[in-house]
Structure formats: C-alpha cells, structure tokens
C-alpha cells in the first residue's frame, strides 16, 4: 500500500476530517510512519486542533515530534 498525502492540506480539527481521508503519523525525529487510528484517540480530543494532538503523540523513539499526514492509501 502506498500513501499519498494531500499537499498543503489539514482539516484543522480532528472531528472535521472526512472519514474517507486516511491519516498517518510520522515522527519528524526518526522518520517512523504508521497508520493513525482516530477512533483510538480519547473522546476529549475529538474537538482538539490537529496541532494539539500532534503535541501529545509520543513516538517509540521517545521524541514528541509527531506530524499527522492526511491523504489516501492505495494499492499502486
């Protein structure tokens, strides 16, 4: 599966991000990328700014330099 990011676009808030948009999280420190499950985020964050959520995500490498990427996963 290949992830294509929507260039220069962010929904601003998590709760207004359309369901057909796939979200990935990338660590700016180590480059790790993985799927982001919006349903795993506690309810109190559903109305949070994307940037506020990014600040709270901690990578396996220990850094908190997460970046949420919005786009779509496709087979080719």
Residues that bind Zn ion (CB under 5 A): 27, 29-30, 32, 59, 61, 63
| Minimum gap (Å) between residue 54 Cβ and Zn ion | 13
CA-based torsion, 34, 35, 40, 43: positive or negative: positive
Closest distance of CB 34 from Zn ion, Å: 10
Strands 33-35 and 2-5: unpaired
Taking alpha carbons only, the member of 11, 25, 14 closest to residue 69 is: 25
- Least Å distance between CB 43 and Zn ion? 26
Closer CB to Zn ion, 54 or 63, in the complex: 63
State which residue, 43 or 62, has the beta carbon closest to Zn ion: 62
Among candidate residues 39, 19, 27, the one with its CA nearest the CA of residue 69 = 27
């Amino acid at each position: 599966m290949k992830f294509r990011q929507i260039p220069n676009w962010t929904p601003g808030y998590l709760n207004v991000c359309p369901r057909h948009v796939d979200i990935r999280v990338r660590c700016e420190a180590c480059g790790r990328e993985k799927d982001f499950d919006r349903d795993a985020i506690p309810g109190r964050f559903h109305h949070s700014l994307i940037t506020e959520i990014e600040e709270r995500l901690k990578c396996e490498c220990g850094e908190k330099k997460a970046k949420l990427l919005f786009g779509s996963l496709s087979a080719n």
